[in-house]
Chain A
Amino acid sequence: MKKFQTVCPYCGTGCNIDIFVENNKIVKAEPTKKHPVNDGELCLKGMYGWEYVHSPRRLTKPLLRKKNGVFSKEGKLEEVSWDEAYEFATDRIKATVKNYSPNHIMGFSSARCLNEDNYVFQKLFRVLGTNNVDHCARL
């Protein structure tokens, strides 16, 4: 069993958690002892809220809305390759910026994701020429 120190993914307290892993699966979580934030304690969610990582309902492949094999607003979500997904995303962003303006795209970033995730997300929008990026801090 290997131990990794991480930070709780729920509220903003920032409790440190020791995650124990066996065969690439989390088997238990324990509060990091003597850590200044949570000093060896955890709440229910910190202790038992990791199971979703291994949920069989996790998304594993990109999905694109398609009808008769091509993108359609009337279609249904279908699994596609990463290559097709990236091509669709980049084509649509480029086309929106070109046909309308950079300010016709908008991004919702995430208070649940890493600093590093948030940073590159907002950088992409800024470099494209718009400040249309916000997240659920307000909600």
Chain B
Amino acid sequence: MTNNLVEFATDADVIFCIGTNTSECHPIIAMQMLRGMKRGAKLIVIDPKKTDMAKKADIFLQIPVGANIQLLNTIINYIIQNDLCNKEFIKKHCHGFDYIKEAVKDFTLERLEKEIGADPEKVKQIAELYAKAPASSIAYTMGITQFVDGTANVMSLSNLALITGQIGRPGTGINPLRGQNNVQGACDMGALPNWIPAGSVTTEFAQSQAKIVWKTELNPQPGYIMTDVPHHIEEGNIKLLYVFGENPAMSDPWTEHFIHACHELETLIVQDIFLTETAQIADLVLPAATWTEKEGTFLNTSRVVQHLAKAVEPVAGLEPDWKVICNIAKRMEIAGFDFSKAEDIWNEVRKLSPNQFGGISYERIKKEQGLAWPCPDENHPGTPIQYADFKSFLPDGKFKIVPIGHADDEKQRDVFEAEIRKKCKIPDDYPVACGMPSAVPTKVYPCMFTTGRKVYHYHTGTMTRECKALEFGADIMGASIEVSPDIAESQDLETGCYALVENKNGKMVAKVFINPDLIEGTIFTTFHYHEADGNKLADASQKDPLSGMNPLKMSIAGIRKISEKEFREFRIKEDELMHPSKMYKTVKGA
């Protein structure tokens, strides 16, 4: 996030939520937004699902899955045409305004109504509210990123903030609500194929820091991205995979493909706290201590480093993950892994990335209830608001507004990109992007298929499904297939009946729940349940050209009613596939 999440409560005048089911996935952030509304802030919600927050919003616009760019370009065009831009901000701090003006000029309210059925009045109100408010804040999650045009979606939001100058001040900014407790930290710590804590592996700074702190020559060639891994295994490019604290056999798209590829590895090592679906196909499983059994730090969505105390002794004398990894490194006689406690590791991070973390010590984060990076020295107060000086990270300090088009397919995308470059004389090194749908319903697969979370569970359920209050108490419905009423009618489905959903990637079965909050023609399910994992149907063949993200939020599928007998038979087969190890069912003494 560019800003701190508490600013939703204290500073934002308009909160613009797009592709986020905030009250289910980030309940406390939703609480901060509702506190903001009590103060007088206006809430805009844009989503294919009429979420809980949508019901509380001042304006709710329901759009089809994957229609973000058409909508955002229309809003941007309306803002430009009606002189609602922040001209001073654009002139002083931005490049590329003429490019975007050209790119969005055909995205009219009338065209948007025709293409996605969006009410022009509502779109107008959204544009005016966002642009005119003293402080408008954008919040988004995977309903923006998990598409083949995810990065173009994010750049569209950035364009919107830049042309209105809604950045760098309290209550403004572009705020991805991070889905996992330490996803920000994992990225900042260098768990990325192109990044170490000192920056991109291709930069001189990262290279020299690696030499000084690690005493190693850093490979300047970025590594493989996760979504390409099954392919690289099949090609023989990867022979050993070491997975820790992750369950890709359930969380990766097109799960069957991933599981199949893993069988071709020479070695699969899995380090986890439970015998997850991924651990069950491993060659070696290493257990480790879990949360509350170890001390350390997490980085939250507001870039704040926070301290976690150790509360209990680990079960069976297990050691923290870092220690298990260090033990392996030491056995291989690799220098630089002699850490005796978590704080020593953190202090090495501070040395490797002094500009970002130099001033963030364990002592300070405990005393000051966390600190936001960048925080270069011990006297620096941390940086809750990024870009407060209205300067970007680019060499000239200016922001780039990126022209973004919308096409029906890849060919059209290339045509758009070439044409706009020519027309506006855009240099080759200036970014240009174009969105497009990754799937269009067909006769065989007539429904849109999308996924998300429920408030009761978390990701693949490894932790939450082991908590009785959540699994047996709160979550009374269990795995279900939610369908929009029109699908229920055409396929003769009723709430409580069994159904099978399938497409070319996979199948799943569950009980049906007719959800009137879903936009027409849409099926929704979660990825919490191994017995009914929505990711089995996700498309892993297409990806975003920049991030490598697969379109997990946008697939097509068919659905039909099945008998209880068919349901039971399918579930048994599913259980055999996901849980090949007999040990999985064994309950050992506590």
Contact = CB atoms under 8 A, between A and B. Distances in A.
Interface string A12-36: 1111100101001110000000011
Contacts of A53: 290-293, 312
Interface string B5-33: 11000000000000000000111110100
Contact of B308 (A93, A114, A127): A114
B10 to A, nearest CB: 10
Interface in B1-60: 5-6, 25-29, 31
Given A111-B180, A118-B182, A49 B241 contact: no
Nearest to A129: B219
A114 to B, nearest CB: 3
A58 to B, nearest CB: 5
The winner among A21, A56, A100, A108 for most chain B CB atoms within 10 A is A108
B587 A44 contact: no
Report which residue of B31, B458, B463, B550 has the largest number of chain A beta carbons within 10 angstroms of its beta carbon.
B463
Given A106-B229, A126-B219, A26 B463 contact: no
B588 A60 contact: yes
Contact of A12 (B248, B300, B307, B549): B300
A67 to B, nearest CB: 12
Nearest to B252: A139
Contacts of A93: 240, 242, 328, 332
Interface stretch (B72-80, B164-172, B189-197): B189-197
Given A12-B180, A59-B274, A131 B332 contact: no
Give the one of A65, A113, A125 with max B CB within 10 A. Answer: A113
Contacts, number: 439
Q: How large is the interface on B (under 10, 10 to 19, 20 to 34, 35 or more residues)?
A: 35 or more
A68 interface: no
Interface centre among B244, B280, B334 (most CB of A within 10 A): B244
Given A37-B28, A96-B239, A119-B349, A60 B287 contact: yes
Contacts of B298: 7, 14, 114-115
Contacts of B322: 114, 116-117, 119-121
Interface string B204-240: 0000001000101011011111110100100001111
A108 B216 contact: no
Interface stretch (B86-94, B264-272, B424-432): B264-272
B41 to A, nearest CB: 17
Given A48-B470, A130-B223, A133-B192, A119 B291 contact: no
A136 B180 contact: yes
A37 B300 contact: yes
A131 B321 contact: no
